[in-house]
Structure formats: C-alpha cells, structure tokens
C-alpha cells in the first residue's frame, strides 16, 4: 500500500524535492562531523610534539602519556619510539577522517571507541582539560555516525 500525502499541502514533486534536500543536508552534516578527525589529528600532533611544537598543556593523548610515564626507561634508550607512536596516532586519525568523509559509519564508531578508551588513560594521568577535548570529539563523532544511520534509513524509504 502506498502512503499518500493527504493533507500535507505538498505535491509529489515538492515532497520528493524536500526529501532530496533532507538527504543532502544529512550528508553535509556527516561530512562536517568527519572533519573533526582532522582537527583531532592536528591537536594530537601539537599535543605530542610530532609537529615539532609541543603544546601538552592544551591537549594530550592518554596512551602516549602512559607510554612516557611507564615506559620512561624504554623511551630513554629509544627516543624515536615515542614519536613513532604519536605519529601512528595522527596517521590513524587522518585515515579515519578520510573514511568518515566517504560515508563509512564504522570510522565514526572506531573514533568514538578510540577516544573513549583514551579518556580512561587521561583520567589515570589526571589530564582534565584533555578529557574535555576528547569528550567533545566523542560527541561530534557519535553525532556523525547517527546522521549516517539516519541517512541510510532515509534512503531506504521509497520515493
């Protein structure tokens, strides 16, 4: 049975145009949320010193902080190991950003899980400002995956 737009005050063409506009808005919102992966990668690079400037007071990565805290002797013998781990974190975020921009919902979910786990590490190191920044990114990436889910469900509706 086909649902009719009785009483909606719109023609079929207006309804289809409104649905297409809604899909375009959802896609734009998803891509805007995906851009936060690149912001997170920039802040992670600044917070860990990968970009040759270290602003650790602004934001830090809990896993890298724990590596420095508990692996101090290891990092003293191999100083590039810390930078390699930080660079891998930044590359991972950039890769997730590209995947999220292409519309892969798993990229948003991976970012949420990665940063939620890192928030636990930040709590161990008492980096409260960084926990707030991580929470912001988790919120935006959760919104992004929710928007993609809504976009997919809207695409399933026959027009």
Tell me the CA distances in angstroms from 137 to 17, 22, 126, one per residue in order.
33, 24, 19
- Do residues 130 and 62 make contact, with C-beta atoms less than 8 angstroms apart? yes
Number of separate domains in the chain = 1
**CA Rg, the chain, in Å?**
21
Domain assignment present for residue 7? The answer is no
Domain assignment present for residue 46? The answer is yes
**Tell me: the pLDDT tens digits for 128-143?**
888 899 999 999 999 9
Q: Which of 24-38, 46-60, 101-115 has the least mean pLDDT? A: 46-60
CA torsion sign, 121 to 146 to 22 to 31? positive
- Do residues 96 and 111 make contact, with C-beta atoms less than 8 angstroms apart? yes
Residue 2 pLDDT exceeds 70: no
Instruction: Tell me which residue has tokens 């998803």.
Output: 30
- Cα distance between residue 134 and residue 54, in whole Å: 18
| Mean pLDDT score, 25-49 | 91
pLDDT, position 83:
87
Q: Which of 20-29, 90-99, 101-110 has the least mean pLDDT? A: 20-29
Domain assignment present for residue 16? The answer is no
pLDDT, position 3:
58
State which residues form the domain around 47. 27-156
Mean pLDDT, the chain, integer = 85
Domain assignment present for residue 34? The answer is yes
DSSP summary character for residue 25 = H
- Cα distance between residue 93 and residue 141, in whole Å: 12
SS3 of 67, please?
A: helix
Tokens describing residue 77: 């013998």
Q: Which of 15-19, 125-129, 141-145, 155-159 has the least mean pLDDT? A: 155-159
* Residue 103 Cα to chain centre, angstroms: 12
């Amino acid at each position: 049975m086909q649902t009719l737009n009785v009483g909606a005050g719109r023609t079929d063409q207006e309804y289809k145009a409104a649905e297409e506009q809604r899909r375009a808005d959802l896609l734009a919102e998803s891509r805007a949320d995906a851009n936060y992966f690149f912001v997170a990668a920039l802040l992670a690079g600044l917070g860990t010193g990968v970009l040759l400037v270290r602003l650790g007071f602004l934001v830090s990565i809990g896993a890298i902080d724990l590596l420095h805290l508990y692996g101090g002797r290891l990092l003293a013998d191999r100083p590039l190991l810390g930078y390699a781990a930080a660079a891998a974190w930044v590359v991972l975020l950039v890769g997730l950003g590209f995947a999220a921009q292409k519309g892969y919902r798993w990229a948003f979910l991976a970012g949420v899980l990665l940063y939620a786990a890192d928030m636990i590490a930040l709590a161990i190191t008492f980096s409260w400002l960084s926990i707030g920044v991580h929470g912001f990114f988790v919120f935006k990436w959760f919104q992004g995956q929710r928007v993609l889910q809504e976009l997919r469900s809207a695409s399933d509706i026959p027009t």
